[in-house]
Amino acid sequence: MIDVIDYGFGNLGSVIKALEYIGYSCRVIDNPKEVHKASGVILPGVGAFGAAAEALRRTGLDGAVKDYIDSGAPFLGICLGMQLLFEKSEESGDTTKGLSILPGVVRRFPSESGLKIPQIGWNCFESAPDPVFRKGDYVYFVHSYYCAPECADDIAATTRYGVEYACAVSRNNVLAMQFHPEKSGEVGLSILNRWARRTR
């Protein structure tokens, strides 16, 4: 059973439909005591970093997520769910800390690039060190901030939007992606499936 965490900031419906489409059982949970029972956990998310981080703390889900990751079981972060794994975000300054699972910060796209912010639409992988991804594949993005990992070894895939940045990260049992696999057609479903196989 794959659990999708509901902390008030997730695009739960589309993630669940995508998982069910590729043949996986899943459920939505909002109780931190239930997190440890899953064979895999997904932290989705859309919205503001600071408010989302506070919601995780208020509900006790922050500690449950950290304990689950420490257990070594498969964990996936999507969009804001990836950003929350880092230490802090320029979106909320130094006032709100992330989960600090991975060292690094979340930065805003540079306005001097002349590109529209947020980035909305399809973009391809410039590099794909992690075999979950395929260099050149296109996936769907909606975001104004990007993750800047402190450790290069944590970068699982990159794309370019004004700057080349980490659009996916991985470390041990943790995989996270800035793009939305559930909205990225067959490519996205294949990526989701390659992760979900780890839960069996």
Catalytic-labelled residue, pool 79, 91, 147, 167: 79
What is the number of other CB atoms lying within 10 angstroms of the CB of residue 139?
24
Candidates 26, 91, 143, 182; catalytic one: 182
Query: 124 an active-site residue?
Result: no
Measured over the CA atoms of residue 31, residue 32, residue 33 and residue 37, the dihedral's sign is positive
Measured in whole angstroms, the distance separating CA 136 from the mean position of its chain's CA atoms is: 20
Q: Where do runs of H (alpha helix) occur along 22-170?
A: 49-59, 61-70, 80-83
| Annotated catalytic residue within 26, 126, 180, 186 | 180
Distance CA 8, CA 54 (A): 11
Q: How many other C-beta atoms are found inside a 10 Å radius of the C-beta of residue 54?
A: 17
Give strand ranges (E) for the chain: 2-5, 26-29, 40-43, 75-78, 88-89, 104-108, 119-124, 138-143, 145-149, 155-161, 163-171, 174-177
Neighbours of 39 (CB within 10 A): 15
Respond yes or no: is residue 143 known to be catalytic.
no
79 is annotated as an active-site residue: yes
| Catalytic residue set | 79, 180, 182
